[in-house]
Amino acid sequence: MGARAAGETNAPRDARRTQEEPVDGLTCTAPDCLCQSVRDLAPSIGPMSNDQQHTDYIVFPLLAGTLARCLVATHENVARHDASTEPAEPGIVSHARIILTLAHASAEGVNWERDRESIATIVSFVMAAWEVFALWVPLHYVPNVSGWDGATTAGLLGAARAWVDRAKPRSLTELVLFTVDIANRTGLRGRELPVSTRAMRPLRVELAARLRNSGLTTWPRVLEAVVNDWQTTTLEGLLLEYASTRTIITLGIPANVDDELEDRDSPAGATAGEASTPSAAPVGAGNETHAGADAVLAEAFAAIDRSEAGRRAAEAERLRLADRCAGLQGHVERLEAELEASRVAINRLDLDRTMLERERDELTDRLVAEEALAGERPSPSANAFAGRTVYVFTGLASGDARAEMISRFSEFSPAGVTVYGIDSHRGPDAYPPDSIVVLDVSFMGHSASEYVLGRARSSGAWIFRGSYGPGRLAKAAAAAYAARCERNGAR
Does 457 score more than 60 pLDDT? yes
Kindly report, residue by residue over 121-143, the tens digit of the pLDDT.
888 888 888 887 777 766 656 76
Q: What is the rounded average pLDDT of the residues 40-50?
A: 66
pLDDT for position 69:
86
The one-letter amino acid at 5: A
**Using H for helix, E for strand and C for coil, what is the string for 178-220?**
HHHHHHHHCCCECCECHHHCHHHHHHHHHHHHHHHHCCCCCHH
Task: Give the span between the Cα atoms of 48 and 120, in whole angstroms.
Answer: 9
When mean pLDDT is compared across 237-241, 333-337, 474-478, the lowest value belongs to: 237-241
Kindly report, residue by residue over 257-293, the tens digit of the pLDDT.
333 333 333 333 333 333 333 333 333 444 454 455 5
The one-letter amino acid at 151: A
As a whole number, the mean pLDDT across the chain is 74
pLDDT for position 301:
61
Task: Give the span between the Cα atoms of 321 and 355, in whole angstroms.
Answer: 50
Q: What is the rounded average pLDDT of the residues 320-332?
A: 86
Domains of the chain: 13-230 (no CATH), 389-490 (3.40.50)
Strand partners, 189: 192
pLDDT for position 247:
31
Task: Give the span between the Cα atoms of 362 and 372, in whole angstroms.
Answer: 15
pLDDT above 90 as % of the chain: 16
Strand partners, 387: none
DSSP letter string over 378-394?
Answer: PPPPTTTTBT-EEEEEE
pLDDT for position 439:
93
pLDDT for position 292:
56
When mean pLDDT is compared across 318-322, 347-351, 364-368, the lowest value belongs to: 318-322
DSSP letter string over 235-295?
Answer: HHHHHHHH-SSTTHHHHHS-SS--HHHHHHH-TTTHHHHHHHS--SS-HHHHHHHHHHHHH
When mean pLDDT is compared across 23-32, 245-254, 423-432, 435-444, the lowest value belongs to: 245-254
> How far, in Å, are 131, 177, 251, 364 from residue 134 at the CA level?
6, 9, 11, 104
- Helix, strand, coil percentages (3-state) for the chain, rounded to 5, are 65, 5, 30
Q: What is the rounded average pLDDT of the residues 432-461?
A: 90
Write phi, then psi, for 390 (nearest 5 degrees): -110, 130
pLDDT for position 409:
94
Task: Give the span between the Cα atoms of 486 and 380, in whole angstroms.
Answer: 12
Q: What is the rounded average pLDDT of the residues 88-115?
A: 80
Burial of 71 (0-12, 13-18, 19+ CB in 10 A): buried
pLDDT for position 25:
56
Does 16 score more than 70 pLDDT? no
| Res. 239 pLDDT band, cuts 50 70 90 | low
| Res. 201 pLDDT band, cuts 50 70 90 | confident
Q: What is the rounded average pLDDT of the residues 296-311?
A: 68
Kindly report, residue by residue over 377-409, the tens digit of the pLDDT.
888 999 999 999 999 999 888 888 889 999 999
Kindly report, residue by residue over 151-189, the tens digit of the pLDDT.
677 777 888 888 888 777 888 888 888 888 888 877 655
The answer to whether residues 464 and 439 touch, using CB atoms and an 8 Å cutoff, is: yes
DSSP letter string over 115-166?
Answer: -HHHHHHHHHHHHHHGGGGGGTS-TTHHHHHH----SSHHHHHHHHHHHH-T
**Who has greater pLDDT, 256 or 58?**
58
Q: Look at residues 424, 434, 370 and name the one whose alpha carbon lies nearest to residue 398.
A: 424
| Res. 44 pLDDT band, cuts 50 70 90 | low
- Residue 360 makes CB contacts below 8 A (sequence gap 6+) with none
Task: Give the span between the Cα atoms of 446 and 387, in whole angstroms.
Answer: 30
